[in-house]
Structure 1
Amino acid sequence: MTITSAARARRAAKALIAVSVVGAVSLMGAAPAQASDWGGDGDSAGCASPITVATTAITGSRGKLAGKTIGELQLRWSWSCHGNWSRVVLYGGMYSTPVTVEQIVESEGRRAGSTDHNLRTGSGGTSAWTRYLRLANSQSRACAQAWLSSDFDTLNYHTNGARVCA
């Protein structure tokens, strides 16, 4: 079968369109990070002189990250807000795929939480946090819990988590 020059031109045009679409989609990149917060008394970014009162490692569970510390969960406190909140610090340079971070802080029968989608760690890492809970008693026990979900550069989407109390 002989392919005419008109048929070759049509095939070339289709191939060019396909390459253009793939190129445009790859330039769009991943969706930007999005967050949703609930509960609590305010944005912890406005709490002066915060301290970390408890911390625990978040450990990878599969592939090249199995058994490696990929971040940490922190329970934070500030006297200026008289409150606790949760912060997750993700270490950079370990994987390239986006992460969803869900976390909750609870104390005195109340809770605050956040969900951050499409976080990228890059080479320098990143962090995410909840709103703060104002406490009636600064000695009240507080707990924070976090879940990190991603494929972490493996073949399967999975979740790693941690919990800390003080």
Structure 2
Amino acid sequence: MSTTSTVERPRRFGRALLAAVTAILAAGTIILTGAAPAQATDSGGDGSPTGCSQTSTVATVPIHGSRGALAGKAIGELQLRWSWSCHGNWSRVVLYGGMYSNPVTVEQVVESEGRRASAYDPNLLTGAGGTSAWSPYIRLANSQSTACVQAWLSSDFGTLNYHTNGARLCV
């Protein structure tokens, strides 16, 4: 019996040691090379509005900075979009360029007729020309239904602190 446990212990210890060394090496690789960039995540809705035509902006609300040099300044806008060909609404965030160089995480939601679609886009770079991100669209039974959009922008926006700014509108 002691022979069996002596033989089993080194195997268990060897497996645990191998797992620990592998985890340490993997962590070191991430630290040295940087983690892989996160990917956008969409949920709900009826698809990407990129295939929709006859689009228009139904309503827009500015998103203002809250700290440092951007306090009170419009850093982007939240839009409620509509397409006649897809017969649906979606949310779009437009980030203005040239105001800061740090990546921004954009989270947004569109809700109408008891349905919801959302998008999560991490580490967007605005650059000098700005950028935009959007949610999936929600196909509506009634084009006159009220739709609400909401967005949160998270970054340090060129300040010393990471913080979130956002906006909401319903039409």
If the length of structure 2 is used for normalisation, what is the TM-score? 0.79
Q: Equivalent residue for 1:78?
A: 83
TM-score normalized with structure 1 length: 0.81
Counterparts of 2:77 and 2:39 in 1: how far apart (Å)?
Answer: 21
RMSD: 1.6
Residues 1-166 of structure 1 mapped to structure 2, 5 A cutoff: 32=37, 34-166=39-171
Residue identity in the other structure for 2:104? V
Cα displacement (A) at 1:31: 5.7
- 1:3-31 Cα distance to aligned partner (Å, 9 max, x none): xxxxxxxxxxxxxxxxxxxxxx6xx7896
1:30/1:56 Cα in 2 relative to 1: closer, same or farther (>3 Å)?
A: farther
SS at match of 2:53: coil
Confirm or deny: 8 A CA contact 1:105 1:143 kept in the other structure. Answer: yes
Q: State the SS of the aligned residue for 2:129.
A: coil
The Cα of 1:32 is off from its aligned counterpart by 4.2
In the alignment, structure 2 segments of 5+ residues that lack a partner are 1-31
Residue 93 of structure 1: SS of its match in structure 2?
coil
Q: Which amino acid aligns with 2:143?
A: S
Hey, which of these two has a bigger chunk of helix by percent? 2
Output the CA distance in 2 between the equivalents of 1:128 and 1:102. Answer: 9
CA distance in 1, matches of 2:37, 2:98: 19
Give the Å deviation of 1:129.
0.1
**Taking every aligned residue pair, what percent have the same amino acid on both sides?**
77
Deviation at 1:34, TM superposition (A): 2.3
Uncovered stretches (5+) of structure 1, i.e. residues with no partner? 1-24
SS at match of 1:64: helix
Q: How many residues align?
A: 141
Change (3 A) 1:94 1:87: same
